[in-house]
């Protein structure tokens, strides 16, 4: 009888450790296989178009061409016709970098679904800021947001956007180009 109980005791401990070893093995295998597989994102992000690249030389070239066209056509009244204002996402937790927002007329930015540019971030207010066109220049105007609007990392209530200005709202940074 005693010998049976002794065998039972030893066998029990051996099986207990076998159980533990099997689970450890299963877990480490899972970890290794998980390392190879890149997790699929929750929602498929649309493939971002490559940001329009233009070196300063190309840009001045383009401007010169426009100028030539203008002089040749003999009309220079509509100043906005010749610029192509746009905001390009540089970095953002909610949008892929490189997304381009072409600007025309007044544009509102905020978390509200009615905004023209919707940024669903914690640090963005419902109606955070708006962009307004005065003559051919775009101005950004803060609409009393909680966490402020920044142009080139300076907090502004209203400021003109010049080409290559960095506009930061929440954690999203845009580059302004024309």
Partner 1 sequence: MSRRNSELAFLALAAVISTMAYVSVFAGRYHEIRRASIVYGLIFVAVFLVLHLVVRFVLPQADPCLLPITALLSAMGLTEIYRIRPALALLQGQWLLVGAGLFILTVLIVRDHQRLDRYRYVIGALGLGLLLVTMVVGTEVNGARLWLRFGGFSIQPSEFAKIAIVIFMAGYLNDKKELLSMPTKRFLGLGFPAPKYFGPLVLMWVLTLVMLVFVKDFGMSLLFFAVFLAMLYMATSRIAYVMTGAALFVVAGAAASQYVAHVHERFLIWVDPWSRAATSGYQLLQSLFTIADGGMLGAGLGRGYLLFPNHQPIVPDLPTDFIFAALANELGLLGAVALILCFLLFCWRGFRIAMWAPDGFSKLLAAGLSVTFGLQAFIIIAGVTRLIPLTGITLPFVSYGGSSIVANLVMVALLLMISHRAAVVRGGSLRERHELAKLG
Question: Which segment (18-26, 65-73, 80-88, 103-111) binds partner 1 by CB under 8 A?
Answer: 18-26
Q: Give the residue with the Cβ less far from partner 1, 30 or 58.
A: 30
| Positions in 64-123 near partner 1 (CB under 8 A) | 122-123
The C-alpha atoms of residue 101 and residue 113 are separated, in whole angstroms, by 16
Q: Give the residue with the Cβ less far from partner 1, 5 or 72.
A: 5
The C-alpha atoms of residue 151 and residue 10 are separated, in whole angstroms, by 73
Note whether 57 binds partner 1 by CB under 8 A: no
Count CB atoms within 10 A of the CB of residue 84: 13
The C-alpha atoms of residue 110 and residue 130 are separated, in whole angstroms, by 9
| Positions in 118-157 near partner 1 (CB under 8 A) | 122-123
Q: Tell how strand 137-142 and strand 86-91 pair up.
A: unpaired
How many residues of this chain bind partner 1 (CB under 8 A)? Answer: 30
């Amino acid at each position: 009888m005693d010998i049976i109980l002794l065998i039972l005791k030893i066998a029990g401990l051996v099986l207990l450790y076998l159980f533990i070893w099997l689970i450890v093995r299963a877990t480490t295998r899972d970890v290794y296989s998980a390392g190879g597989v890149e997790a699929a994102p929750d929602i498929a992000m649309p493939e971002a178009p490559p940001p329009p690249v233009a070196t300063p030389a190309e840009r001045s070239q383009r401007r010169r061409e426009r100028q030539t066209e203008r002089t040749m056509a003999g009309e220079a009244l509509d100043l906005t016709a010749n610029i192509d204002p746009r905001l390009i996402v540089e970095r953002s937790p909610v949008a892929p970098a490189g997304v381009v927002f072409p600007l025309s007329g007044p544009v509102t930015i905020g978390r509200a679904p009615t905004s023209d540019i919707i940024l669903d971030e914690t640090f963005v207010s419902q109606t955070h800021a708006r962009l307004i066109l005065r003559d051919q220049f775009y101005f950004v105007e803060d609409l009393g947001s909680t966490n402020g609007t920044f142009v080139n990392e300076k907090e502004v209530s209203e400021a003109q956007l010049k080409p290559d200005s960095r506009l930061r709202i929440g954690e999203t940074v845009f580059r302004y180009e024309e």
